[in-house]
Each structure stands twice: as C-alpha cells, then as structure tokens.
Amino acid sequence: MSRAQQAWETHPDRGVDGVLRVEGPTAATTIGAVADGPGQMLHIWPHTPEGAPPLRVHDPLDGDPAVTVLALVGGAVEAGR
C-alpha cells in the first residue's frame, strides 16, 4: 500500500460514509475511494469504487490524495487537510 493510499485510509476529515467532501473558494469535490494502480498511479472514485476509475493521477511524490485531487480541480489545497 502506498503512502498516498495509507493517507486516504486514515484521513481525519472523511465522513461516516467514508467520503471526503471538500469545498474551496473556486471548486468543490468528493473523494469516495482511492486505490493504488500500476506505475505510481492513484485510481480515484467520487463515491464507491465501481467500474473504471474516473480519475487516474500519476503520483510520483507519493502524496496525500485529497490534496492532489483538490489541486487538480482548483480548490484550496489547505481546505483538504
């Protein structure tokens, strides 16, 4: 398990349903599931992991998926912490 997936599994801001909902000044997003993929890829679903992941992120720094996704959709990075 990558550090990014471990960060996701233990993220303190996830709701009781396991979904992280974050709103920034320019965007809002939900992250429902994160899984490791081949070649340092993170597979990210907005809800339950069904079918192919709608977002695949190359994560060479092995970082926090909440911050990575927020940066991609234009939200405030600090709101995801």
Does a structural domain hold residue 61? yes
In the chain the beta strands, taken as DSSP E runs, fall at: 20-23, 28-31, 33-37, 41-45, 55-58
The answer to whether residue 10 is domain-embedded is yes
> What pLDDT, on a 0 to 100 scale, did the predictor assign at position 59?
63
Per the domain annotation, does 80 fall within a domain?
Answer: no
52 contacts: CB under 8 Å, gap ≥ 6: none
Specify if 51 maps to a domain: yes
Q: In this structure, is residue 44 part of a structural domain?
A: yes
Residue 78 lies in a domain: no
In angstroms, the Cα distances linking 34 to 1, 15, 25, 76 are 11, 15, 24, 20
Provide the pLDDT for residue 26: 80
Mean pLDDT, each 10-residue run in order, the chain (81 residues)? 80 89 83 85 88 81 62 52 45
Question: How many domains, in total, are found in the chain?
Answer: 1
Residue 11 is assigned to a structural domain of this protein: yes
pLDDT, residue 76, reads 47
- Pairing state between β 33-37 and 41-45: antiparallel
Domain coverage including residue 36: 3-73
